[in-house]
Chain A
């Protein structure tokens, strides 16, 4: 069973992410966080196969989370999603230790294939 942790401060985006993921990975477990502190707590508490986090959230967002977990040698795969354009942020989040960057407009089409590619999971 794939264990996915999603983090976004926009409730409608979390709902949408959850629906997209559960439709594709039917038996997966998806948990949510709505700010950076909750995200870090849930990362510390659970054994996740992948983390999908918004770049910009209260408490530092995706970059602060990456800095925190990578310095603690946590190598859980991370996909950063954002409303900001890839050309401005992609390299920065990859340098910070993310496995991929995805613009929010591509979530519906590219998120699930990306998760399959990163985790090696088949539905």
Chain B
């Protein structure tokens, strides 16, 4: 019996996904969790065949959870889904060990195909992501400033751009305020930006928030 664990902070999204999956796999066991902490606990607690995880959840991000899952269960395939277009985040999540990336517009059409691909032990790559990968390897695309950030810096970057204070971010990511301030300085330096408002403007212009 196929065991799939869904992690998303919105019950309405979990319910819709569960319905789509159960239509194709009526006897599947579908588990649900609503944040990254519960996701890690559920992954450690029992074996799953596939994890489908939202990238943006309260507390630790899906990207952060993915990194930890890869340490505790390296062979467990993780499909990351997000509200954001696949060309912005797909490479980052694949690099972090995800087995596939689904933008919210393509979930309905692609989720079953993605699950089938992952069951075969392969990664699920959409044509748009394949093109992005080819560009990255071929050197056809000039790297955007945010692509030089590490995964942790990228998480902090998004939270800053979204208007969160250093202390808010520190408590969400379980870091000290000093560490977050260091990340902030490093992010501004790497991206050649001067303030949080410039950072927010950059994120909006690049459709990152």
| A interface residues (Cβ-Cβ under 8 A, vs B) | 9-17, 19-20, 34, 83, 104-105, 107-108
Identify which of B13-21, B115-123, B168-176 touches chain A.
Answer: B13-21
- Chain B contacts with A in 1-35, Cβ cutoff 8 A: 10-17, 19-20
Task: List, in ascending order, chain B residues with CB within 8 A of A14's CB.
Answer: 16, 108
The answer, among A11, A107, A108, for a CB contact under 8 Å with B108, is: A11
The answer, among B15, B17, B105, for a CB contact under 8 Å with A34, is: B105
A62 to chain B, nearest CB (A): 16
- Chain B contacts with A in 71-106, Cβ cutoff 8 A: 83, 104-106
The answer, among A9, A13, A20, A34, for a CB contact under 8 Å with B13, is: A13
Task: List, in ascending order, chain B residues with CB within 8 A of A20's CB.
Answer: 15
Looking at chain B, what size class is its interface with the partner chain? 10 to 19
B42 on the A face (CB < 8 A): no
* Inter-chain contact B12/A17, CB cutoff 8 Å: yes
Q: How far is the CA of A72 from the CA of B52 in the complex (A)?
A: 43
* Inter-chain contact A12/B107, CB cutoff 8 Å: yes
| B interface residues (Cβ-Cβ under 8 A, vs A) | 10-17, 19-20, 83, 104-109
Task: List, in ascending order, chain A residues with CB within 8 A of B13's CB.
Answer: 10, 12-13, 16, 104
Task: List, in ascending order, chain A residues with CB within 8 A of B12's CB.
Answer: 12-13, 16-17, 104-105, 107-108
* Inter-chain contact A108/B11, CB cutoff 8 Å: yes
Sample of 12 further A-B pairs with CB below 8 A, known A15-B108, A104-B10: A10-B107, A11-B105, A11-B106, A11-B107, A11-B108, A11-B109, A12-B16, A12-B108, A19-B15, A104-B13, A107-B11, A107-B12
* Inter-chain contact A11/B15, CB cutoff 8 Å: no
B169 to chain A, nearest CB (A): 19
Q: How far is the CA of A104 from the CA of B19 in the complex (A)?
A: 17
Task: List, in ascending order, chain A residues with CB within 8 A of B20's CB.
Answer: 11-12, 15
Task: List, in ascending order, chain B residues with CB within 8 A of A11's CB.
Answer: 16, 20, 104-109
Closest to A11 in B: B108
Between-chain CB contacts (< 8 Å), 20 pairs: A9-B105, A11-B20, A11-B105, A11-B106, A11-B108, A12-B16, A12-B108, A14-B16, A15-B15, A15-B19, A15-B108, A16-B12, A16-B13, A16-B19, A17-B16, A20-B15, A104-B10, A107-B12, A108-B11, A108-B15
